Amino acid sequence: MAGDGLAADDIDPATVNAEEDDEARLPEVAEESGEPLAEGRLAVGHAAIENAVRLAPTSPGVYRMLNAASDVLYVGKAKNVKKRLSSYARVSAPQPARILRMIAATVSVEIISTSTETEALLLEANLIKQLRPRFNVQLRDDKSFPYILITGDHWAPQILKHRGAQTRPGQYFGPFASAGAVNRTITALQRAFLVRSCTDAFFESRTRPCLLYQIRRCSGPCTGEIDFPGYTELVREARDFLSGRSRAVKQELAGEMEKASVELEFETAALYRDRLAALSAIQSQQGINPRTVEEADVFAIHQEGGYSCVEVFFFRTGQNWGNRAYFPRAEKSFTPEEVLASFLAQFYDDKPPPKLILLSHAIEECELMANALSIKAGGKVEIVTPRRGEKKELVAHALTNAREALGRKLADTATQGRLLAGLVTTLGLSHAPKRIEVYDNSHIQGSNAVGAMIVAGPDGFSKNQYRKFNIKSEGLTPGDDYAMMREVLQRRFKRLTAPPAEGDAAKPQPDDDSFPQWPDLVIIDGGRGQLNAAREIFEGLGLSQVALLAVAKGPDRDAGRETLFMPGREAIKLEPRDPVLYFIQRLRDEAHRFVIGSHRKLRKKDIREAGLQEIPGIGPSRKRALLHHFGTLKEIERASIADLGKVPGVSAESARKIFEFFHARPG
């Protein structure tokens, strides 16, 4: 684990993409003059650390190693900071090449004292996530997990998906591995327990039941279709099911179904039957469900090809609430135990740990980690590497998933590498691009104009780097795609070329292994005109190191017949089955997908704010009729032309206009 054990074993370079062996990379830390390593920058690093040793405490704490630009290179913790730093300062002691590289880049050391080693561990994990040092294992794609919330601030509780701080009164159930898992579970719970999902404002405004009541996914408490005791009982059953008492709930429903059947109340019996089927559907979708493990997170790590994959399974209330694969940045020389220990500390930095954590590999200082997580949880947390029984089976299942996920990752990475190499040959680039940015824009006759940028690199799409741009130009001619592209590129690259404000992070250094902020290649959707517009922007900003590519659609927008344009070159036509063309198409299509989604969100927001008045020919009377018939604007949007035509006062032509208004295809 970072900060523990011998100093020679606890440094974690940031990336697995160190294609060369450590020893082969040693010359990188020597000065350009060819001066021997120990007498050059390495000697400066040792001197900086020796200076820090003189002032270091013998108590627990966290230390940060900084380079000449004051960027944090490494964060570590120690029970005795002075002793730990002394191990780095010993020139005669043999050190792995990765540590020598870090020492050679170090010019100063900062120290924070803590009361206990446990406090140091928690602080270390927090700083690593915050500062993302190059020489630490880094947890990537650390998105918050969704929960199911049954609210407690209304007489008729609502069930909904929740992310973020748990400040609203109610009961939270989770975490779930994905939003999709939550959405499927909520839909099934609505069918099983008929608990409302609408907002309080919508609930209070109802005068008749909405569509969800009609399709038996809500019991209709808003209009008194069910009384307060009856609805309270449904909510209790839902809470019991999510709290792990699913067997008791199913037995109750089965008993009620049997009772209704005996009393010849077949409609009621059918309702209970459908509710039981919905509960069975939830559990069948969950796959493996433990018999003896009530609450646990399972971590399994697999290493191959210089990559590490950590698969995490979440078990709560005896149910499987999903799994997620992580690919932390960790150099290939690190053992699974070292990567897993550092990963755990960062993973629970902003998440409540469960009572039990099951690991595929035993980590060092397991007891210290358990104590730290117990403090966070406010109760005892146990960390176990099981050797037999059901717990061992759960870990083995997670390990299989980790192995398969890493296999897919390696295949994708190898394919991506070949495609990037092909891109170099086809486009005549100087090197394989590490960061590709693709731009597109969307609008309907100039309204709700939005631009978007997607990002790809050696590891595929980097969705946390995606950006959207709401077009703001006042005098923009509706539908002027060139002007929209100019605005998007100007906003993007002016921000990138501006000097960093005081306190902002410095730009990545040339030898920084982190994902670059500057693109090597920019792709835009369009032909020669779009290319010229982009080139003017780049020339105005003094950008010459970024390659430009425009992708024009084929005749009749036929995929596979695209024409590629680059500055100063003849148009490029690739064979329809060329893998590089497929790759470029995939990049363009992903940008199109992202910008269309952004446009639709913006358009829906405007529709919600403006109402139905924006539809030609729809006045107040028809608006009232539509809302009275469908209940909400969302249901009107979902309706077919035939359903719209059934509304009193809405003609076939009006129904067509309404449908086209909601389903118009953006440009």
Match 């627990």 to its residue by tokens. Answer: 60
Supply the DSSP string of 628-659, one letter for each residue.
Answer: HHHSSHHHHHH--HHHHHTSTT--HHHHHHHH
CATH of the domain at 96: 3.40.1440.10
**β-pairing verdict for 447-457 and 467-470:** antiparallel
Three-state SS at 307:
strand
Domain match, 278 and 332 both: no
Give the pLDDT confidence score for residue 28 in this predicted structure. 39
Q: Cα 503 to chain center, whole Å?
A: 26
Which stretches of the chain drop beneath a pLDDT of 50?
A: 1-38, 284-286, 446, 500-513, 609
Structural domains counted in the chain: 5
Domain match, 155 and 75 both: no
pLDDT digits (tens, 9 = 90+) for 268-308: 677 767 667 666 655 544 456 666 787 889 999 999 878 89
Match 């900071």 to its residue by tokens. Answer: 81
Domain boundary, last residue among 73, 104, 131: 131
Buried b / exposed e along 499-534 (16+ C-beta atoms within 10 A): eeeeeeeeeeeeeebebbeebbbbbbbbbeebbbbb
Domain match, 444 and 538 both: yes
Domain match, 475 and 536 both: yes
Supply the DSSP string of 17-74, one letter for each residue.
Answer: ---S-TGGGGGGGS-TT---GGGTHHHHHHHHHHHHHHH--SS-EEEEEE-TT--EEE
Give the pLDDT confidence score for residue 184 in this predicted structure. 78
Angle between helices 228-242 and 246-262 (to 10 degrees): 140
Distance CA 396, CA 360 (A): 8
Distance CA 553, CA 532 (A): 17
Domain match, 23 and 68 both: yes
Look up the domain containing 362 and give its range: 296-408
- Listed residue (614, 612, 653, 648) closest to 633, CA to CA: 612
On the CB side of 462, CA atoms within 13 Å amount to 19
Domain boundary, last residue among 574, 602, 630: 602
Q: Model-level pTM?
A: 0.65
| Residue 102, both tokens | 């870090």
Domain match, 267 and 338 both: no
Domain match, 273 and 345 both: no
Supply the DSSP string of 93-152, one letter for each residue.
Answer: S---HHHHHHHHH--EEEEEE-SSHHHHHHHHHHHHHHH--TTS-B--S-PPPPEEEEES
For residue 34, being part of any structural domain is answered with yes
For residue 607, being part of any structural domain is answered with no
- Do residues 127 and 75 make contact, with C-beta atoms less than 8 angstroms apart? yes
Give the pLDDT confidence score for residue 615 in this predicted structure. 67
For residue 350, being part of any structural domain is answered with yes
Give the pLDDT confidence score for residue 644 in this predicted structure. 82
Domain match, 383 and 480 both: no
**Local structure of residue 206 (DSSP, 8 states):** -
Domain match, 171 and 274 both: yes
On the CB side of 261, CA atoms within 13 Å amount to 11
Domain match, 59 and 155 both: no
pLDDT digits (tens, 9 = 90+) for 454-465: 998 888 888 888
Please list, in sequence order, all residues whose beta carbon lies within 8 angstroms of the beta carbon of residue 496, skipping any fewer than 6 positions away. 517, 518
Domain match, 96 and 159 both: no
For residue 413, being part of any structural domain is answered with no
Radius of gyration of the chain from Cα atoms?
A: 30
CA 498, 504, 510, 515 torsion-angle sign: negative
Domain match, 265 and 300 both: no
